[in-house]
Amino acid sequence: MISLHSVSKTFGDHTRSVAALDDVSLDVARGEIFGVVGQSGAGKSTLIRTVNLLERPDAGAVVVDGVDLTSIGSGQLRLARQKIGMIFQHFNLLSSRTVRGNVELALEVTGAERRERRRRADEILDLVGLTDKAEAYPGQLSGGQKQRVGIARALAAEPTVLLSDEATSALDPETTRSILELVRTINQQLGLTVLLITHEMDVVKTICDSAALLESGRIVEHGPLVELISRP
Ligand code: ADP
Ligand code: ADP
C-alpha cells in the first residue's frame, strides 16, 4: 500500500549537509499498522513527510496505492493527498474554529456541499466519541480530546492511509492508551493502512503489526513485530 524505494533526502548545502534519509526502502502492506521507531534526529519526520510529499525526496520513489507520487503533476498529487490523512504531535487544530468547524474545513477540499460536510463531520465526531464537544473550541479540550479531533479531521475525506507523526508523544500514558485503541479501531473498522513514527518502542509494541528501526537516516531492522522483538 505504501512503498518507499531507495529514498534519499539531504538537507543543507555543500559546506554542511545532513543525510536525513539515506537509501531508505520499506513496504507497508494494505490494512496493517506499521511503525517506524528511532531516536531524535534519526529521520522519522522526514520519512513520514515524504509519504505525502510534504518533503520531496532527492532520489527514489514514493508509491502509495499503486501511484508513484514523485512522478505525477500537482493536480493528481492533490487528489492523491486526499487519500492520505495525517495526525500530529501538537494536533495542529485551528483555535478560532469549533471542533465541528475544524472537521468541516478538512472536507472543503473534497468539494462536498455544506449540508453534506456537516452530516459527514457529525458522523466522524460520533466515531471518535466527541459528539458532545462539536460546538466546543480546541482551547476547551484536553489533550486526548484534541487528538480525537485531529483524528476526525484526518478521516474527513475518507482516506485509505493514515500517517501519524508522534501522535501520542504529548499525552500521558492513560490517554496514550486510549488514542492507540482508537487508532486500532479505525484500522480494523475502516480498513485503513496506518504508518506511524514514534521514539517510543512501547507504542510500537502496543499496536504495530510490523516495524522498522531507523538510525541516522538508515533502516537497520525491518519486519513483522513478532520477529523484531524476539531478536537478541
Ligand atoms: P526525527 O524526526 O527522527 O527527529 P528529522 O527527520 O526531523 O528526525 O531530522 C533528521 C535530520 O535532518 C536531523 O539531523 C535534522 O536536523 C535534519 N533536518 C530535518 N529537517 C531539516 C531542515 N528542514 N533543514 C535542515 N536540516 C533538517
Ligand atoms: P513536530 O512533529 O515538529 O512537532 P508538527 O507535527 O506540529 O511538528 O507538524 C509537522 C509539519 O506538518 C509542520 O512542519 C507543518 O509544515 C505541517 N503541517 C502543519 N499543519 C498542517 C496541516 N493542518 N495539514 C498538513 N500539514 C500540516
ipTM metric:
0.69
pLDDT at residue 136, rounded to an integer: 98
Q: What are 40's three cell numbers?
A: 531524535
- Whether ligand 1 lies within 6 angstroms of the CB of 46 is answered as yes
How many Å lie between the centroid of ligand 1 and the Cα of residue 22? 12
In this structure, the residue with its CA closest to atom 15 of ligand 1 is 41
Residue with the smallest CA separation from ligand 2 atom 7 is 90
Which residue, judged by its Cα, is nearest atom 5 of ligand 2? 88
Query: Is there an atom of ligand 2 within 6 Å of 169 CB?
Result: no
Closest C-alpha to ligand 2, atom 18: 92
**209 within 8 A of 225, measured Cβ to Cβ:** yes
Give residue 169 CA to ligand 2 midpoint distance, Å.
14
Q: What is the pLDDT of residue 227?
A: 82
Which residues of the chain register pLDDT less than 70?
A: 231-232
- Which among 40, 47, 88 is the best mutation to test ligand 2's pocket, defined by most ligand atoms within 8 Å of the CB? 88
pLDDT of residue 109: 81
Q: Which atom of ligand 2 is nearest to the CA of 153?
A: 23
Nearest ligand to the CA of 54 is 2
47-65 pLDDT, tens digit each: 999 999 999 999 999 999 9
Q: Which atom of ligand 1 is nearest to the CA of 40?
A: 4
Question: Closest residue (by CA) to atom 13 of ligand 1?
Answer: 41
Among 77, 79, 55, 74, CA closest to 7: 55
User: What's the pLDDT score for residue 15?
Assistant: 85
- Closest residue by CA, ligand 1 atom 23: 11
DSSP assignment string, 130-158: -GGGTT--GGGS-HHHHHHHHHHHHHTT-
Q: What is the pLDDT of residue 81?
A: 92
Ligand in nearest proximity to the CA of 170? 2
List alpha helices for 83-196, DSSP H: 99-108, 114-127, 143-155, 173-190
Q: In the prediction, which pLDDT does 208 show?
A: 96
CA pair distance 14, 86, nearest whole angstrom:
33
Q: What is the pLDDT of residue 14?
A: 80
pTM of the predicted model, to two decimals? Answer: 0.88
